[in-house]
Homo-oligomer: A and B are copies of this chain.
Amino acid sequence: MSEPVLFYFDFSSPYGYFAAVKIDELVGGFGRTVTWKPMMLGVAMKETGNRPLADQPLKGEYCKRDWDRLARHMKVAWRMPTPFPIATLAAARAFYWLDDKDPGLAKRFARATFDTYFGNGRDITAPETVADIAAPLGVDRAALLAAVQDPAVKERLKQETAEALRRGVFGSPFFVVDGEPIWGSDRLWMVKHWLREGGW
């Protein structure tokens, strides 16, 4: 039995959102599964010395234009959120808390979170907003609000982010396929190639 493909992302990453729309169907076509791994991209940026795209002269403006045209090209909902970028601690902690109970539910929650932030442009920083997103999926609001403040859940996200860095993850989205690192929503063709050929 093959290991799942790892899909690392930050909920505040537009390119993570674009990859999230496609990755499960792509990987599923090869009879493989995907494990979603939200992380704190800011921690990785401290390691690499990078800054958020939106803060970079020239590159920030370019990326905003790119997100808009990519969304039109892919025919997915897109609305530039404000504020952007944000700290996605509450969403990422809620994800891992749900993932331990039901990975399918955690993925549905993750997709709904991306849709809220980048599809509707609604700020997802506040735990209350994260609870709003999860409630229609049958998640108890009070339990979620308690979970995102639970020291064990906080620690879990820290550990997952540290594990990501150990695997060499420095951006979002970032895939690990049978140990092979593949970075960027532009590189889904490479994930496909690996799954088909097993290497280069």
Contacts and interface: CB of A to CB of B under 8 A. Distances in A.
B58 A168 contact: yes
Nearest to A68: B200
Nearest to A73: B200
B165 A58 contact: yes
A170 interface: yes
A200 B47 contact: no
Interface string A158-190: 000000010011110000000001011011000
A62 B168 contact: yes
A159 to B, nearest CB: 18
A184 B186 contact: yes
A50 interface: yes
Q: How many copies does the complex hold?
A: 2
Nearest to A51: B49
A170 B58 contact: yes
B44 A48 contact: no
Interface of A: 44, 47-51, 56-59, 61-62, 65-66, 69, 72-73, 165, 168-171, 181, 183-184, 186-187, 193, 200
Given A48-B57, A58-B165, A73-B200, 12 more contacts: A44-B58, A47-B57, A48-B58, A49-B57, A57-B170, A58-B169, A58-B170, A61-B168, A62-B168, A66-B183, A73-B193, A186-B187
